[in-house]
Structure 1
Amino acid sequence: MTGTTLDELRMIVAIEQHGSLTGAAEALGVTQQAVSQRMRALERRWGLALFARSARGTRLTDQGTLVAEWAATLVGQADAFDSAVGSLRSDRAAHVRVGASLTIAEHLVPGWLVTYAADPSAAHVELTAVNSVTVAARVRAGKDDLGFVESPDLPEGLASYVFMKDEVVLVVAPDHPWAKRTSVSPAEVARTPLVSREEGSGTRLAMERALEIVVGAGAVVAPAAELSTTAAVRGTILAGGGVGALSARAVRDDLDAGRLRRVQIDGPAAVRPFAAVWNPQRRLAPGAARILEIASASA
């Protein structure tokens, strides 16, 4: 079956929003005939009746309304992706420099940037995605106006604001022996080499700190692998590479779909703060202050 295009999804969303093919065509800047032809082609391709047509006009069926809701989610994600990619460009004179740890950069920042970009006076955002220790160092050095970190320890010498809590969870592939267990002890996890992020990662530190509360400082063995991105850790675990610790946000879809299994630990949860940090001796630029406001409101 031919793949569905983003333009087709935008058409479905526009029809649902404007109540007619004509209204959708006007909103999208195309002809009503073009919208009608694309929608008929979709119905044939999918084998679904998306529209009820009569002398009084065309309206979405129940199936069509459901498809439009799904399409709106995908269109929103595509817009967030475009905004996030655009934030990586730094060739404009007026911009706000933001550093974000990887979990926050991947799962929260895109939505914030979409909201921020809707402001007519929004400055260009230059985003740098690194681990929490590096974010703090960049803010101290004046390389970034605003930083977002996810470490259990808030950086010294910086102003900070905790806007959200996050849990780091233990995950394995479905065929891993631990996938069938109801729980594992902190001691067993501590002596198991994990697939982990690099030193300086808030994700890694949160899990190690939670284990050390129970088994004692220095009892956690060295990782089986140290990887620099959340995606690399996730991919290694999905491929059957062992046991790993990741943000619950980063693996939510994998857990829901059964691609990964969460392993419960008998002990305190590995909870860490998501915090904004900035230099207290410098006044936040209006753009940075607005992004902080959006981040706070999102929680």
Structure 2
Amino acid sequence: MTQPAVTFQIKQLEEHFDTRLLDRGHGKITLTAAGELVLAYAERILGLSAELDSRVSELTDELAGQLRIGTSTTIAAYWLPQVLESFKRRYPGVLPRVVVGTSKLTEDRVAARDLDLGLIEIATEQPSIERRSAARDDLLVICSPDHPLAKFKELTARDLVGHPFIDRDPGNGIRQIADEFFEAAGIAGSQITLCAELGSLAAVKQLAAAGLGFAIASGRAIRRDVEEGRLVAIPLQPRLHTPLEVILPRDKFRSRLINAFADHVCEEFSRIAAEQDED
């Protein structure tokens, strides 16, 4: 909508309720007490409308409609495509809308009901979130074949001190697990030689392959790079894993479509992880 159209709609609402819904002044707009009340009821009305659409569509026994999915970058690139392909083949009328961000951002958006569900590496204990453990992925040190760490069969946190570290961006699930790995070994952040903080896994792998430092990455995400000789992957001691979790808003109406997709993700992630272990 254009700005004049928005202004007109608000004016009509204020005339209908015979009260101001917005306070305008000092370069900002805020809701009045009446505006807050109208907003709360509007959100409930929209929620009931969506629930009605889902309930009616379920009577046809055909899963269809929009599915708002949030996901971390690693899952989006290396896990989700296979899951979406198999789900779309089964239910072609489903329209997935995928939003990619950090695990923290995805969790916050699910908690705020902006997304139907999220697929992330690690969730916090937010009371408004329901968590389902789907599978787990190995975390490995990656570096170029010429890097001094490449000769090791396994690496402890102490072995990594002094080597430039290519870290992920704040809010990334794998970054959180890596931080906890170093902390458990008694290594402070000041002892880690930080090389870069990157939000893109592709950029992390590029810098590691160029010999600028080591990184900690998902085993599934670096398989092809290792097979083609661009990177070396070394297990950590103790072994490090990242959980793959499905998160949903707690105490929210959940359509059969959302439940079916959440179940499908858990099944597919488990199957893919089992195949990876066999390889």
Q: Would the TM-score normalized by the shorter structure come out above 0.5?
A: yes
Matches within 5 A, 1:56-205: 94-120=65-91, 122-151=93-122, 153-157=123-127, 158-205=129-176
For normalisation by structure 2, the TM-score amounts to 0.68
> Which residue, 233, 240, 250 being the options, matches 1:270?
240
Question: What amino acid is aligned across from residue 273 of structure 1 in structure 2?
Answer: P
- Counterpart position of 2:275: none
1:46-87 CA deviation, whole Å, 9 max, x = no partner? xxxxxxxxxxxxxxxxxxxxxxxxxxxxxxxxxxxxxxxxxx
> Which residue, 240, 249, 254 being the options, matches 1:279?
249
Distance 1:256 1:201 in 2: 26
- Counterpart position of 2:59: none
Q: 1:107 to 1:186 in 2, by over 3 A?
A: same
Distance 2:266 2:90 in 1: 17
Displaced runs of 4 or more, over 4 A: 216-220
Give the superposition deviation at 1:181.
Answer: 3.2
Q: 1:126 to 1:208 in 2, by over 3 A?
A: same
List alignment gaps of at least 5 residues for structure 2.
1-63, 271-279
CA RMSD of aligned residues (A): 2.1
Residue 223 of structure 2 is aligned to residue 252 of structure 1: yes
Q: Is the 8 A contact 2:65 2:93 kept in 1?
A: no
Give the structure with the larger strand fraction.
2
- Counterpart position of 1:296: 266
Question: What amino acid is aligned across from residue 293 of structure 1 in structure 2?
Answer: D
> Which residue, 171, 195, 200 being the options, matches 1:229?
200
- Counterpart position of 1:238: 209
Give the paired residue count. Answer: 205
Give the superposition deviation at 1:121.
Answer: 6.0
1:90-120 CA deviation, whole Å, 9 max, x = no partner? xxx9411000111111111111111121234
Q: 1:121 to 1:256 in 2, by over 3 A?
A: closer
1:235-255 CA deviation, whole Å, 9 max, x = no partner? 111222211111011001112
Question: What amino acid is aligned across from residue 267 of structure 2 in structure 1?
Answer: A
Question: What amino acid is aligned across from residue 176 of structure 1 in structure 2?
Answer: H
List alignment gaps of at least 5 residues for structure 1.
1-92
Distance 2:253 2:234 in 1: 44
Greater relative contact order (CA < 8 Å, ≥ 6 in sequence): 2
For normalisation by structure 1, the TM-score amounts to 0.63
Q: Is the 8 A contact 1:186 1:215 kept in 2?
A: no
